[in-house]
Chain A
Amino acid sequence: MSSQISIEEVDIRGQICPSTLLTALREVNIRKADLKGGKICLTMLSDNRSSVTNISESVGSMGYQVDVKKEHDYYRITISRIP
């Protein structure tokens, strides 16, 4: 029987720097146990180019898998456990 991974989404578009990065790090830390346990996958929507780069770098260095995909005029950052 395979366990279901739920996807949680946080929209951080339009905010001033560095609110986006700090919010992203806070959201990751709040869900740390579930993310590390592979129970959830966190996606964030950001339209701030600098923050997308910084979130990807910072969260990646915390030991998560980070995927960035462009969607229309913003970026979707997907954070999950390293398989």
Chain B
Amino acid sequence: MSFIHLYMLTGCLLIGFAAGWVMHRSDYCVAGMFRDLFLFRSTFMLKTLLLLILVSIPLFEVARLTGSVKYPFPLFGTPSLANFLGGMLFGIGMVLAGGCVVGTLYKMGAGRFPSLLAFFGLVAGSGLYAEIHPYWSLFSRTVALPTKAVTVPQLLALPSWLVSGPLLLVFSVLVVRWFRRGQMMKPVVVDGYLQPWKAAILLAVIGFFSVLLVGMPLGITTAYSKMGALLEQSLVPEHYNQVVFFGLYPLQYIPPVGGGLLRGGPGASLDGIALIQFPLIAGIILGAAFSAWRLGEWRIQFSLPMRQVISALLGGIIMGLASRMAPACNIWHLMGGLPILAMQSILFLAGLLPGAWLGGILLSRLVLPR
């Protein structure tokens, strides 16, 4: 491992640690934001998500202007209706699991048993996708939108700032109004509480550092496939060798910090994905665990109603599957793709909303106590 790779690994670990700490202190649960919109008609946390996206727009623009970051970011592709369907399935899964792919990690780090179950489900679901990849890949190409553009500015053939600038201005007025009305603040009743609007700004800054370091916003879902691949390779090596998906290397780029061409994919090898995403995952878990431990709130309780056990596991499996079908997760699309107006991310969001609504119905009718 070169010095630059060690630098990236350490940086990702620190970025993950900071994100885990911030998310735990503010309970920045993105799954909860969308679920509560439909279950309780609450838009409080979604308002902070909008703030996060708005702060990310100029930060990502600054990163682009450095010239060292590939823009649009690597792994963002052209849009397809598969992004919408993947987002919808992801919405159902995250609500049933009680957290998204990142929410699952920070809650697991804080000792929450349901999130540990969701984590196992995520690995299983991501591994399961490998079996249907050839068919889904074909379907995704069939329903691809007729454009070579990745972002809305590219589609309109306009500079990115000319499209995102007016949007930033309009939505900023809205956010300022919410602040003035006191709609961005929660009463503080728990120890060490970080107001979610502060968490939103911090997470935008963390995402900016991620772009500067690895040339991409926060994203961890391919690592779940890699965990599934590692398991499959050790348990059923002959079958593993026949799975086409595990032989792919969708990540091929030169990171902003240098170090030459970096390749990475969902297979069992310790490649660029492992270098970036494994330390991010470890960092988020450790950051949340450290935060909970400092507050004296780290605890694990294994007793859980059977319906909630099934919901967490099944939700994790659905989410893992959907995160490869989409492809990628809500954090990648909402916090990384929407600020650059990636069309995949817009379609993912369009699917996520009805998915979270459906997930809320399933949760309240089949899982929660009546």
Taking Cβ atoms with an 8 Å cutoff, the residues of A that contact B are 13-19, 21-23, 26, 47, 49-50, 52-53, 56-57, 68, 70, 72-75
Taking Cβ atoms with an 8 Å cutoff, the residues of B that contact A are 24, 27, 29, 32, 35-36, 39-40, 98-99, 112-114, 186-187, 189-191, 193, 296-299, 301-305, 308, 311-312, 363-364, 367-369
Cα distance A61–B321 in the bound complex, in angstroms: 40
Q: What is the minimal beta-carbon distance from B105 to any residue of chain A, in angstroms?
A: 15
Chain A contact residues: over half helix, strand or loop, or mixed?
mixed
Closest 9 CB pairs of A and B: A14-B301, A16-B98, A50-B27, A68-B189, A16-B114, A73-B299, A56-B189, A49-B190, A16-B308
* A17: chain B residues within 8 A (beta carbon): 29, 32, 35, 98-99
Q: Within the complex, which residue of A14, A18, A57, A73 is in contact with B35, where a contact is CB–CB below 8 Å? A: A18
Chain B contact residues: over half helix, strand or loop, or mixed?
loop
A53/B369 in contact, CB under 8 A = no
Complex: chain A residue closest to B303, CB-CB: A14
* B304: chain A residues within 8 A (beta carbon): 14-16
B308/A70 in contact, CB under 8 A = no
* B364: chain A residues within 8 A (beta carbon): 22
B189/A16 in contact, CB under 8 A = no
Q: Within the complex, which residue of A23, A47, A53 is in contact with B297, where a contact is CB–CB below 8 Å? A: A47
Q: What is the minimal beta-carbon distance from A49 to any residue of chain B, in angstroms?
A: 5
B298/A73 in contact, CB under 8 A = yes
A70/B191 in contact, CB under 8 A = yes
Cα distance A26–B303 in the bound complex, in angstroms: 21
B308/A19 in contact, CB under 8 A = yes
Q: Within the complex, which residue of B186, B193, B369 is in contact with A19, where a contact is CB–CB below 8 Å? A: B369
Q: A14-B113, A16-B98 are in contact. Are A73 and B189 (CB under 8 A)?
A: no
* A15: chain B residues within 8 A (beta carbon): 114, 304-305, 308
Cα distance A19–B370 in the bound complex, in angstroms: 10
A-B pairs with beta carbons under 8 Å apart, 21 shown = A14-B301, A16-B98, A16-B304, A16-B308, A16-B311, A16-B312, A16-B367, A18-B36, A18-B368, A21-B40, A23-B369, A49-B27, A49-B190, A50-B32, A52-B189, A53-B27, A53-B189, A57-B187, A70-B190, A74-B297, A75-B189
**Chain A CB within 10 A, most for which of B99, B114, B298, B368:** B368
A52/B190 in contact, CB under 8 A = yes
Complex: chain B residue closest to A19, CB-CB: B368
Q: Within the complex, which residue of B35, B98, B99, B190 is in contact with A75, where a contact is CB–CB below 8 Å? A: B190
Complex: chain B residue closest to A56, CB-CB: B189
Cα distance A14–B308 in the bound complex, in angstroms: 10
Complex: chain B residue closest to A58, CB-CB: B40
Q: Within the complex, which residue of A13, A18, A52, A57 is in contact with B39, where a contact is CB–CB below 8 Å? A: A18
* B369: chain A residues within 8 A (beta carbon): 19, 22-23, 26
Cα distance A26–B322 in the bound complex, in angstroms: 33
Cα distance A17–B100 in the bound complex, in angstroms: 12
Q: What is the minimal beta-carbon distance from A62 to any residue of chain B, in angstroms?
A: 13
Q: A17-B32, A18-B39 are in contact. Are A47 and B299 (CB under 8 A)?
A: yes
* B32: chain A residues within 8 A (beta carbon): 17-18, 50
B312/A53 in contact, CB under 8 A = no
Cα distance A53–B8 in the bound complex, in angstroms: 37
**Chain B CB within 10 A, most for which of A21, A26, A53:** A53
* A68: chain B residues within 8 A (beta carbon): 189-190
Cα distance A83–B29 in the bound complex, in angstroms: 35
* A53: chain B residues within 8 A (beta carbon): 27, 186-187, 189-190, 193
A50/B187 in contact, CB under 8 A = no
Complex: chain A residue closest to B301, CB-CB: A14
**Chain B CB within 10 A, most for which of A17, A22, A57, A68:** A17
B368/A22 in contact, CB under 8 A = yes
B296/A73 in contact, CB under 8 A = yes
B299/A74 in contact, CB under 8 A = yes
Complex: chain A residue closest to B115, CB-CB: A16
B27/A56 in contact, CB under 8 A = no
Cα distance A11–B114 in the bound complex, in angstroms: 17
Complex: chain B residue closest to A26, CB-CB: B369
Q: What is the minimal beta-carbon distance from A76 to any residue of chain B, in angstroms?
A: 11
